[in-house]
């Protein structure tokens, strides 16, 4: 990746260089990208939110849906910036009203996420947000939930994308934006 030429490229490179890399977490052989180093820095956090919101400012987004838990860190403030409602996608048993659930595969088993059945009205323009795109399983399940509610998916936004894991391939039909790629 050559030298950054534009102010935006320089800013994204600065954000990337501030992410702490922790080897063998949560298990041996995994390199964990710790974004808490960005979150504790108010200028970096603000820059992330500006970059994530920028492509959607005039898109008429009506709901921002984000996946528990780190997706909430970005989803709620993005919803505020875009003048949209916020939809939490959570683990089973965490939402009090009627829900839809979607189960997806992980490299070490399965997981399930849920959303309230009345969270999105048919035809609403939805931006889905999470901190990380890896294999795409979590976001694929989130997309399934939004589609079941009748939401129109306008885009998928991530802070980090692990390109070697090819999560983007599972989500080809959607506009995908990630700020930082590894």
Active site residue 107: yes
Rounded to whole angstroms, the Cα distance separating 16 from 47 reads 12
Active site residue 68: no
Q: Is the dihedral of CA 174, 175, 179, 182 positive or negative?
A: positive
Indicate the pLDDT class of residue 14, thresholds 50, 70 and 90: very high
pLDDT of residue 108: 72
Indicate the pLDDT class of residue 75, thresholds 50, 70 and 90: very high
pLDDT of residue 109: 80
Mean residue pLDDT of the chain comes to 95
pLDDT at residue 174 is higher than 90: yes
* Catalytic residue chosen out of the listed positions 11, 14, 68, 70: 70
What mean pLDDT do residues 157-172 have? 97
pLDDT of residue 3: 67
């Amino acid at each position: 990746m050559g030298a950054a030429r534009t102010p935006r490229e320089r800013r994204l490179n600065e954000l990337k260089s501030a992410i702490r890399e922790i080897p063998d977490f949560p298990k041996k052989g995994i390199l964990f990208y710790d974004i808490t180093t960005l979150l504790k820095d108010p200028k970096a956090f603000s820059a992330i939110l500006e970059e994530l919101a920028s492509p959607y400012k005039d898109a008429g987004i009506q709901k921002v849906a984000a996946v528990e838990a780190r997706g909430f860190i970005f989803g709620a403030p993005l919803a505020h910036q875009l003048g949209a409602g916020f939809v939490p996608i959570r683990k089973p048993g965490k939402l009090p009203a009627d829900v839809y659930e979607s189960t997806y595969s992980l490299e070490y088993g399965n997981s399930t996420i849920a959303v309230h059945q009345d969270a999105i009205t048919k035809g609403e323009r939805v931006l889905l947000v999470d901190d990380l795109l890896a294999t795409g399983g979590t976001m694929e399940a989130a997309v399934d939930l939004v589609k079941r509610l009748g939401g129109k998916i306008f885009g998928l936004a991530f802070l980090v994308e692990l390109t070697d894991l090819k999560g983007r391939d599972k989500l080809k039909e959607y506009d995908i934006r990630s700020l930082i790629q590894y």
